[in-house]
Amino acid sequence: MDHFEGINFSELMCGIEAAPGYLKPVVKVATGGTTGSSLAICGYHNVASGIYNNVLVIGWEKLNEGGATTGIITAFDPVWERPSLAGALGPLALMAGMYSAKYGITAEQAAKVTVKNRSNAANNPFAHLQMPNITIDYVMSSQMISYPLRLHDCCPQSEGACALIYANEQETKKITDNPAWFHAVETAHYYTFGTDDKMYDLPTATIASKKAYKKAGIKNPVKDLDVAEIYEPTSWSELSWTEALGFCKPGEGGKLLDEGITQMSGEFPINPSGGVLSTNPIGATALVRVAEAATQVMGRGEKRQVPDVEKALAMGFGGSLWTEILILGKEPLR
Amino acid sequence: MSKKKGQEKVFEIKWKTDLPYRYSIGKLAVKFFEELKENKKIMGSKCSKCGKVHSPPRAVCAECFIEMTVEDMIELSPRGTLEGFTVVNYPFTDPNTGGLRPFPYGYAIFKLDGADTYTMHFVDETDYTKLKVGQRVEAVFKEKREGNIGDILYYRVIKNED
Ligand SMILES: [Zn+2]
């Protein structure tokens, strides 16, 4: 953060009408796109370590109040990167183009991701974009924003907040008999300097997910997990990320989608909530992934509920291509 | 802000603020911009342990944790390969100028001949159908150079390389 943006909005953290942090220890966490998953992981560490019994974790964003692209540019190197960088979508477009050139993924396959996720969003009353009748043609004829990304290949700019209550085993019993349990949390960083590597295949997602699967005893993620809420800023990224997360082999993200496996009716639904393509209040976005994974594990998803969820994966993605992975389960990991 | 029928006018306070600050670019970047300005040269830095050539020049090799100095800087070719591209076609405020960044513009990453890492910059093409991963490119320099990255105006696709 260049200019201590919003750091002294104490009424936001401690005001009676906002988060009830008054006279309580408050920690502010900001890591860009991963903010929500960093929050989720910090909440976990605070309770799992035994330091606190109960923690309230809140992520929020009001994108209407500022230019996201402008703000994101200031997060990058002022000398080498800012002059040509166009916020998040420019680099995401580069990545999509390289991914497409390498594996022959098509614009139609990307459009299918948007249709899947926005159709799912119609089952989620908290989703921002409600486009239940969206079609592949509609996505593919929308304006070219940054080749190969069309308008509807991109996430929206949303306003929103998300809150999670954490409790230790003892305290949990007082709150609910149906909690979601943490099985694994992982954070992975990769590059030291921007453009050290091309990174269109998100190596950090591979590093973080492999470690998380090992911790959580997951051998085959598509079989051993029941649902995933992943951070897909564009339609193309979902296809690429499914490969990086080991849901399929490199280059087979399009095939995984075409086979229907990631649809609501498929073996392994991805983003029943509608995903980031339907709702993107940045500081809350990755926390929403965790909340939605918890919702699925607790069986509280109503119209967007996947049947019989035992284990769910949540993913945060951001800034310098970091990935954060959280795995939640219906039963504690013993 | 779009106003729907019946929606009240939003009360707004508008202002613009200058936020000047200093940023230390380090000795290697100073050398890079001196060579760019004076001699139209693009310099990288080579790790003395693994030999990886960093472009732009970096002070530390992330593979080896080896420090690189101005002595480790080498000249790179102004030519290279287009590794990835897009044509940015949306409006936004450029934090470097406070005004609208002119668009559409070609934005790409390149691998300069002799370098092992990538360089991001403008590419002089706004028709994405004319760009292809793997195309050969070359840097186009500003006539009156000032010692900043804008001294490389953009990279352009080489039609017939000799
Ligand atoms: Zn080295």
Per the CB < 8 Å rule, is B120 touching A87? no
Q: What is the pLDDT of residue B10?
A: 82
* A186 domain residue, yes or no: yes
* B65 domain residue, yes or no: yes
Q: What is the pLDDT of residue A2?
A: 45
* A235 domain residue, yes or no: yes
Q: What is the pLDDT of residue A4?
A: 63
pLDDT tens string A165-182: 999 999 999 999 999 999
Task: Return residues 139-178 of A near B (CB < 8 Å).
Answer: 143-149
* B143 domain residue, yes or no: yes
Residues in chain A within 8 Å Cβ distance of B83: 98, 198
* A334 domain residue, yes or no: no
The residues, any chain, with a CB within 8 Å of residue A107's CB and separated by 6 or more, are: A100, A140, A148, A150
Per the CB < 8 Å rule, is A197 touching B122? no
Q: What is the pLDDT of residue B20?
A: 77
Residues in chain A within 8 Å Cβ distance of B90: 69, 86, 89, 145-146
d(CA A192, CA B77) in angstroms, rounded, equals 24
pLDDT tens string A169-216: 999 999 999 999 999 999 999 876 778 888 789 999 999 999 999 999
d(CA B157, CA B137) in angstroms, rounded, equals 4
pLDDT at B2 over 60: no
Residue A3 forms contact with B (CB below 8 Å): yes
User: Per the structure, how many domains does chain A have?
Assistant: 1
Cβ proximity of A176 and B120 under 8 Å: no
Helix residue ranges, H only, chain A: 10-14, 35-48, 68-73, 89-103, 107-121, 136-140, 169-175, 203-216, 221-224, 235-244, 253-258, 282-298
Per the CB < 8 Å rule, is B29 touching A79? yes
Structure tokens at A270: 């991805």
* B9 domain residue, yes or no: no
* B116 domain residue, yes or no: yes
Give the pLDDT band (50/70/90) at residue A302. Answer: very high
Q: What is the pLDDT of residue A225?
A: 98
Out of A94-108, A147-161, A241-255, B13-27, pick the least confident: B13-27
Give the pLDDT band (50/70/90) at residue A140. Answer: very high
**Which residue range is the domain that position A27 belongs to?**
2-329
pLDDT at A256 over 50: yes
Residues in chain B within 8 Å Cβ distance of A89: 88, 90
Out of A10-14, B47-51, B65-69, pick the least confident: A10-14
Q: What is the mean pLDDT of residues A305-325?
A: 95
Q: What is the pLDDT of residue A15?
A: 67
pLDDT at A68 over 60: yes
Residue B122 forms contact with A (CB below 8 Å): yes
Cβ proximity of A72 and A87 under 8 Å: yes
* A124 domain residue, yes or no: yes
* B8 domain residue, yes or no: no
Give the pLDDT band (50/70/90) at residue A5. Answer: low
Residues in chain A within 8 Å Cβ distance of B29: 79
Q: What is the pLDDT of residue A78?
A: 87
d(CA A244, CA A251) in angstroms, rounded, equals 10
Tell me the percentage of chain A whose pLDDT exceeds 70: 96
Structure tokens at A257: 């989608």
Residue A205 forms contact with B (CB below 8 Å): no
Q: What is the pLDDT of residue B1?
A: 45
Per the CB < 8 Å rule, is B88 touching A86? yes
pLDDT tens string B111-153: 999 999 999 999 999 999 999 999 999 999 999 999 999 999 9
A183 C-alpha to ligand 1 centroid (Å): 37
- Is residue A250 exposed (0-12), middle (13-18) or buried (19+ Cβ within 10 Å)? middle
Average pLDDT of chain A to the nearest whole number? 93
Please state the length of chain A: 334
Per the CB < 8 Å rule, is A70 touching B89? no
pLDDT at A260 over 70: yes
Q: What is the mean pLDDT of residues B39-57?
A: 96
pLDDT at A164 over 50: yes
| DSSP conformation class of B71 | G
Structure tokens at A300: 């509280």
Q: How far is A80 from chain B (nearest CA, A)?
A: 7
Q: What is the pLDDT of residue B4?
A: 59
A49 C-alpha to ligand 1 centroid (Å): 38
Residues in chain B within 8 Å Cβ distance of A196: 62, 117-118
pLDDT at B67 over 90: yes
* B91 domain residue, yes or no: yes
Residue A319 forms contact with B (CB below 8 Å): no
A66 C-alpha to ligand 1 centroid (Å): 41
B63 C-alpha to ligand 1 centroid (Å): 5
Residues in chain B within 8 Å Cβ distance of A149: 86
Looking at chain B, which residue has its C-alpha nearest residue A86?
B88
- CA A235 to centroid of chain Cα atoms: 13
**Which residue range is the domain that position B91 belongs to?**
27-157
- DSSP per residue over B85-134, as a string? EEEE-S--B-TTTSSBPPSSEEEEEEEETT-SS-EEEEES---GGG--TT
B46 C-alpha to ligand 1 centroid (Å): 8
pLDDT at B62 over 60: yes
Residue B53 pairs in a beta bridge with B46
Q: What is the pLDDT of residue A329?
A: 98
Out of A6-10, A20-24, A196-200, pick the least confident: A6-10
Give the pLDDT band (50/70/90) at residue A1. Answer: very low
* A152 domain residue, yes or no: yes
* A160 domain residue, yes or no: yes
pLDDT at A160 over 50: yes
Cβ proximity of B29 and B151 under 8 Å: no
CATH assignment at residue A102: 3.40.47.10
Structure tokens at B142: 């500003």
B53 C-alpha to ligand 1 centroid (Å): 8
Per the CB < 8 Å rule, is A79 touching B25? yes
Cβ proximity of A223 and A248 under 8 Å: no
Cβ proximity of A254 and A106 under 8 Å: yes
